Chain A
């Protein structure tokens, strides 16, 4: 009954499309949220059944039907539940359910309420297909499906030009990555003759020479796909712009689930990556570089959602460098903890944005802690988690990643990760302080304020990524700042609890002697396979291990203290630094001008080239061929038309001549 898990959201899509307009908002919500809730319950049941099996039998494969059979190649629509996809399925349905619930509050006043939930449920279907697929081809179906939903939801407020542009950008950038994935998959079919995980991984050590050119090419191409979907250098540019979408979308798709698909794919293909050490190095270096670069940009951004977006890019970098140093399980662990705290951060930011009447500029916030107690408390937990303070969830996964990169001798990557950790703690607490602490930097209007003031405020904020779209007006700008309703705070609290304790499943050395529970759970998937080289871990003395833990706590604490000093105690410090390093600040504020560089180096040449192709090849050659055929037929017809006189007599004459000719023919023979 695995198929029921993705089928439930799909059924909700169909029902909401067919009869949603007659159900009313309440009915739509029950249908959409209920379907995801049921999918979560079905997933829990399936995972419990999986866990009850002995360790070596922990893989349930269910074939729905054979999709295609071409010669010796065949692909089927079949689902696989093993410890790895179990983790992903639980995270996707669980966090997805909470975000659906949250959306009922956040999107309540939107005129396109039904469309939003149709897209959101469609996304759940595609994402669950992606993680539950038993072969690369079906995974690719889900992969494209989530890409489509991401595009649709980024451009949800399509009347806003920036939103539709951002959706387009996400789609096009992802397409580049998808092309790599597709090529990699075709190489796999050509070399191993299959797309089934089991058969590909069984054949890989026999077909490929370890470290050979073929396997390196395949894994690098697949990693290109991952950089697109999971927003890594060089294809990360779409994710910050994706913040044009509604905040629950940012939380679900662009933080917790879809963007981790690349990490999932790399972890799923760990057998292939282990055979290609060069690709592993590339993954590690790209991951670490992305983690550091995105963190530096995050420092200078003022839009609350953009800070979180760069933080997501940075955290995804951590996941990839975990995979790159061979710690695939730890990467997935970070996917899980990140899903908890980053979804929470986005949802909290959404709650703040709602409370601030669609203000996203952190410079216009401040002092919200007392006005929005639940949001404040849960956001604080998530901020501590992402900064890496024990015992919050993010600490365990991030510390484990750093420890592993140290133990495998990737010192450069390790130092980059530590630096990124300092910056993470710093910019996250900058966000926290600017939003919740200090004195309010906004004017709180009473409910019945003059209309002119609202219009002015509206115009002042229009330059920024203004989340509300046009539905913001229904709230009326400038009411008092207040806590959000229960269906917004409840998901916050649940995710808050998970952000605090969710990392305990992965506690390992040096805290406890045994192997972490999470890693043991993934052992049937990630464990050593025949013919596949293993990751060499050098022995790290216990004292040094504690030292590393102390270091990562110390750097986090240092970042936090610096943030408090620069933004709360001595605000002149931040201003002074900004003035002293104004060039650097401008570089960071403008995101290293990468967008501008891509515009000039890639978009424009392609655009101009396409323009030429259109003018010459399309208009002259293709259109010329099509029109030429038309002219030729027309010319022939002009001659043939002469026979069609319209006079019955002529036709009768031709008929008679024909009969006579036949007669002559038969008489002669």
Chain B
């Protein structure tokens, strides 16, 4: 059996990749994928803990997270498509109308 530490470490690495992806990438679609990465890192941690503690709660929680992620993708993609139709770009540094 793989020790829980390794799984958690993998989860942490995935999460950090996701964070860095959100921070440094310009393409909205890639940023989106990075967010998914972070969500899945959390899922991995849930599953690892569930297994460790012999409880199904963590596994059930993962389903919720995946549902939320699906809904978020539906809304987010719709926004990105509309932004692209309007501005013909998906680069977030060109979408800066909220500048004070």
A residues near B, CB below 8 A? 640-641, 643-649, 652-653, 656
B93 in the interface (beta carbon within 8 A): yes
Query: What are the 9 closest A-B residue pairs judged by CB atoms, nearest first?
Result: A646-B99, A644-B100, A646-B96, A641-B100, A648-B92, A646-B98, A647-B93, A652-B22, A653-B23
Q: Give Cα A640–Cα B19 distance, bound, in whole angstroms.
A: 26
Between-chain CB contacts (< 8 Å), 19 pairs: A640-B100, A641-B100, A644-B98, A644-B99, A645-B96, A645-B99, A646-B96, A646-B97, A646-B98, A647-B96, A648-B92, A649-B22, A649-B24, A649-B26, A649-B92, A649-B93, A652-B23, A653-B23, A656-B19
With CB as the reference atom, state the residue of chain B lying closest to A647: B93
- Write out the residue numbers on chain B whose beta carbons fall within 8 Å of the beta carbon of A646: 96-100
B66 in the interface (beta carbon within 8 A): no
Closest-CB distance, A564 to chain B (whole angstroms):
90
B95 in the interface (beta carbon within 8 A): yes
With CB as the reference atom, state the residue of chain B lying closest to A644: B100
Of listed A640, A644, A645, A647, residue having the most chain B CB within 10 A: A647
B residues near A, CB below 8 A? 19, 22-24, 26, 31, 92-93, 95-100
Q: Are B100 and A647 in contact (CB under 8 A)?
A: no
Q: Give Cα A653–Cα B97 distance, bound, in whole angstroms.
A: 18
Closest-CB distance, A638 to chain B (whole angstroms):
10
- Write out the residue numbers on chain B whose beta carbons fall within 8 Å of the beta carbon of A647: 92-93, 96
Q: A645-B96, A649-B93 are in contact. List 5 more A-B contacts (CB 8 A).
A: A640-B100, A647-B96, A648-B92, A649-B22, A656-B22
- Write out the residue numbers on chain B whose beta carbons fall within 8 Å of the beta carbon of A652: 22-23
Closest-CB distance, A97 to chain B (whole angstroms):
69
A-B residue pair count with CB separations less than 8 angstroms: 31
Q: Give Cα A384–Cα B44 distance, bound, in whole angstroms.
A: 113
Q: Give Cα A643–Cα B96 distance, bound, in whole angstroms.
A: 13
- Write out the residue numbers on chain A whose beta carbons fall within 8 Å of the beta carbon of B19: 656
With CB as the reference atom, state the residue of chain B lying closest to A659: B19
Closest-CB distance, B78 to chain A (whole angstroms):
17
Q: Give Cα A649–Cα B97 distance, bound, in whole angstroms.
A: 14
Closest-CB distance, A197 to chain B (whole angstroms):
64
Closest-CB distance, B86 to chain A (whole angstroms):
16
- Write out the residue numbers on chain A whose beta carbons fall within 8 Å of the beta carbon of B22: 649, 652, 656
With CB as the reference atom, state the residue of chain B lying closest to A640: B100
- Write out the residue numbers on chain A whose beta carbons fall within 8 Å of the beta carbon of B98: 644, 646
- Write out the residue numbers on chain A whose beta carbons fall within 8 Å of the beta carbon of B96: 645-647
Q: Give Cα A652–Cα B96 distance, bound, in whole angstroms.
A: 14
With CB as the reference atom, state the residue of chain A lying closest to B20: A656
Closest-CB distance, A265 to chain B (whole angstroms):
63
- Write out the residue numbers on chain A whose beta carbons fall within 8 Å of the beta carbon of B26: 649
Q: Give Cα A159–Cα B19 distance, bound, in whole angstroms.
A: 75
- Write out the residue numbers on chain A whose beta carbons fall within 8 Å of the beta carbon of B99: 644-646
Q: Are B23 and A648 in contact (CB under 8 A)?
A: no
Closest-CB distance, A349 to chain B (whole angstroms):
72
Q: Give Cα A641–Cα B98 distance, bound, in whole angstroms.
A: 11
Q: Give Cα A127–Cα B24 distance, bound, in whole angstroms.
A: 79
- Write out the residue numbers on chain A whose beta carbons fall within 8 Å of the beta carbon of B100: 640-641, 643-644, 646
Q: Which of A641, A643, A656 contacts B23 (CB 8 A)?
A: A656
Closest-CB distance, B82 to chain A (whole angstroms):
16
With CB as the reference atom, state the residue of chain A lying closest to B93: A647
Q: Give Cα A648–Cα B95 distance, bound, in whole angstroms.
A: 8
Q: Give Cα A644–Cα B98 distance, bound, in whole angstroms.
A: 8
- Write out the residue numbers on chain A whose beta carbons fall within 8 Å of the beta carbon of B31: 648
- Write out the residue numbers on chain B whose beta carbons fall within 8 Å of the beta carbon of A645: 96, 99
Closest-CB distance, B71 to chain A (whole angstroms):
20
Closest-CB distance, B12 to chain A (whole angstroms):
12
Closest-CB distance, A660 to chain B (whole angstroms):
10
Closest-CB distance, B96 to chain A (whole angstroms):
3
- Write out the residue numbers on chain A whose beta carbons fall within 8 Å of the beta carbon of B24: 649
Of listed A640, A641, A644, A646, residue having the most chain B CB within 10 A: A646
Q: Give Cα A75–Cα B85 distance, bound, in whole angstroms.
A: 69
- Write out the residue numbers on chain B whose beta carbons fall within 8 Å of the beta carbon of A644: 98-100
With CB as the reference atom, state the residue of chain A lying closest to B92: A648
Q: Are A649 and B95 in contact (CB under 8 A)?
A: no
- Write out the residue numbers on chain A whose beta carbons fall within 8 Å of the beta carbon of B93: 647, 649
Closest-CB distance, B62 to chain A (whole angstroms):
22
With CB as the reference atom, state the residue of chain A lying closest to B22: A652
With CB as the reference atom, state the residue of chain A lying closest to B19: A656
- Write out the residue numbers on chain A whose beta carbons fall within 8 Å of the beta carbon of B92: 647-649
Q: Give Cα A656–Cα B97 distance, bound, in whole angstroms.
A: 22
Closest-CB distance, A57 to chain B (whole angstroms):
77
Closest-CB distance, B28 to chain A (whole angstroms):
8
Closest-CB distance, A382 to chain B (whole angstroms):
79
Q: Give Cα A344–Cα B31 distance, bound, in whole angstroms.
A: 93
Closest-CB distance, B57 to chain A (whole angstroms):
23
Q: Give Cα A644–Cα B100 distance, bound, in whole angstroms.
A: 5
Closest-CB distance, B91 to chain A (whole angstroms):
10
Q: Give Cα A652–Cα B97 distance, bound, in whole angstroms.
A: 16
- Write out the residue numbers on chain A whose beta carbons fall within 8 Å of the beta carbon of B97: 646
Q: Give Cα A656–Cα B98 distance, bound, in whole angstroms.
A: 20
Closest-CB distance, A633 to chain B (whole angstroms):
14
Q: Give Cα A640–Cα B100 distance, bound, in whole angstroms.
A: 9
Q: Give Cα A94–Cα B18 distance, bound, in whole angstroms.
A: 91
Q: Give Cα A649–Cα B23 distance, bound, in whole angstroms.
A: 5
- Write out the residue numbers on chain B whose beta carbons fall within 8 Å of the beta carbon of A648: 31, 92, 95
With CB as the reference atom, state the residue of chain A lying closest to B26: A649
With CB as the reference atom, state the residue of chain B lying closest to A643: B100
Q: Give Cα A83–Cα B57 distance, bound, in whole angstroms.
A: 89
Q: Give Cα A158–Cα B3 distance, bound, in whole angstroms.
A: 96
Q: Give Cα A644–Cα B96 distance, bound, in whole angstroms.
A: 10
- Write out the residue numbers on chain A whose beta carbons fall within 8 Å of the beta carbon of B95: 648
- Write out the residue numbers on chain B whose beta carbons fall within 8 Å of the beta carbon of A641: 100
Q: Give Cα A10–Cα B97 distance, bound, in whole angstroms.
A: 58
- Write out the residue numbers on chain B whose beta carbons fall within 8 Å of the beta carbon of A649: 22-24, 26, 92-93
Q: Give Cα A367–Cα B23 distance, bound, in whole angstroms.
A: 104
Q: Give Cα A643–Cα B99 distance, bound, in whole angstroms.
A: 9
Q: Give Cα A648–Cα B34 distance, bound, in whole angstroms.
A: 14
Q: Give Cα A653–Cα B22 distance, bound, in whole angstroms.
A: 9
Q: Give Cα A648–Cα B76 distance, bound, in whole angstroms.
A: 14
Q: Give Cα A646–Cα B97 distance, bound, in whole angstroms.
A: 6
- Write out the residue numbers on chain A whose beta carbons fall within 8 Å of the beta carbon of B23: 649, 652-653, 656
Closest-CB distance, B1 to chain A (whole angstroms):
29
Closest-CB distance, B77 to chain A (whole angstroms):
16
Q: Give Cα A643–Cα B95 distance, bound, in whole angstroms.
A: 16
Q: Give Cα A645–Cα B96 distance, bound, in whole angstroms.
A: 7
- Write out the residue numbers on chain B whose beta carbons fall within 8 Å of the beta carbon of A643: 100
Closest-CB distance, B74 to chain A (whole angstroms):
19
With CB as the reference atom, state the residue of chain B lying closest to A653: B23
Closest-CB distance, B53 to chain A (whole angstroms):
22
Of listed B22, B24, B95, residue having the most chain A CB within 10 A: B22
Closest-CB distance, B2 to chain A (whole angstroms):
26
Closest-CB distance, B50 to chain A (whole angstroms):
23
